[in-house]
Amino acid sequence: MSMSPCAPIQHSPTGSHPQKIRQNLFPTLYGLAYEATPGFTHTPLMHLPQQSLIPSNEEDRLLALSRYQILGTTPERLFDDLAALTAKLFNTPIALVSLVTDDSVWFKANFGLPDAERIARAESLCSVAILRNEATIFEDLTQQPCALVEPQVLQALELQFYAGYPLHTPDGFNIGALCVIDREPRTFLPDEEALLQHLATTVLLLLELRRTSSGPAEVVGPAWEKIYTAIPPLIHSLTLLAEIGSTGTAVDVHGTLVGTTAIHHEAGQLTVLINRTISALLAEYPARPSAS
């Protein structure tokens, strides 16, 4: 099968053998100015994304992003903890929570790239990750480069592996990605892809809770007090699993040797529990009207 110059790997539904598929790209006219979050200084960057990086729903996607009022906000513990946890679970030196604006990719949480706040959209693989509703995977960027993004940043940081899952909003827009990055090529297994999807859902649910509870102090305080009570113990359990998984194998309570696949499965179950907890908190607060 002929290959696109930027073709991520997609695992087969059965999880047996990965297969490469052509990236679905939706070129459109560039030039939209998005509604910036108050307090976010939008300084246009020099490298504008090529048309192939702009999805067909770009205008509505940027409006959806602006409704979260997240751009330029200060670091927040739960997002930082999730980025660090994600890096540990996948044993990668870098994990990012990224949000894709009209010309840049801004990091809400950044583990492993000190002092990096944002980069040009044309230089980030997260710009590619938002083009599809599933994982975007590059197991070896030296052998499988992506022609859709400019290579300078990837080469300067010696990045060779990327796996990202889009942050897909309830109204159907990919506003960013949760990604893991390595400086060595590696194989990304189906169970890892499933875990990354669960964690991306966690990030999106936290963004939803943050948006919904950004009201009066008497509402915001109890909302976040509940989440900071309920979520950290679960994150701690995930962290313990990540530390066990970093050794490659572990022994369960019955003395049985288990591998990283079992650990990723258990981590996925814990992540689902976290997501249910956040969803239950979301149900306690009425949805805020979406600004048009």
Burial of 91 (C-beta count, 10 Å sphere; 0-12/13-18/19+): middle
Q: Nearest Cα to 14, choosing from 250, 212, 190, 202?
A: 190
72 vs 248: CA distance, rounded Å: 38
Give percent of the chain above pLDDT 70. 68
Determine the pLDDT at residue 8: 52
Determine the pLDDT at residue 285: 67
138 vs 187: CA distance, rounded Å: 9
Q: Nearest Cα to 165, choosing from 196, 140, 139?
A: 196
Comparing 85-99, 177-191, 205-219, which segment has the lowest mean pLDDT?
Answer: 205-219
In this prediction, residue 287 has a pLDDT band, given cuts at 50, 70 and 90, of low
Q: Which residues pair with 137 in a beta bridge?
A: 163
CB 89 within 8 A of CB 238: yes
User: Helix (H, G, I), strand (E, B), or coil: what is residue 181?
Assistant: strand
Residue 270 has pLDDT above 60, yes or no: yes
Q: Please give the span between the terminal C-alpha atoms of the chain, in angstroms, as a whole number.
A: 43
Average pLDDT estimate for 176-184 = 98
Comparing 83-87, 89-93, 153-157, which segment has the lowest mean pLDDT?
Answer: 153-157
SS3 content of the chain, % helix, strand, coil (to 5): 40, 15, 45
Residue 275 has pLDDT above 60, yes or no: yes
CB 13 within 8 A of CB 122: no
Comparing 4-8, 16-20, 37-41, 203-207, which segment has the lowest mean pLDDT?
Answer: 16-20
Determine the pLDDT at residue 210: 84
Give percent of the chain above pLDDT 90. 43
User: Helix (H, G, I), strand (E, B), or coil: what is residue 141?
Assistant: coil
**264 to each of 197, 261, 290, how far by Cα in Å?**
12, 5, 36
User: From the CA atom positions of the chain, what is the Rg in Å?
Assistant: 19
In this prediction, residue 211 has a pLDDT band, given cuts at 50, 70 and 90, of confident
Determine the pLDDT at residue 11: 47
Q: Please tell me the CATH superfamily of domain 9-283, with its number.
A: GAF domain (3.30.450.40)
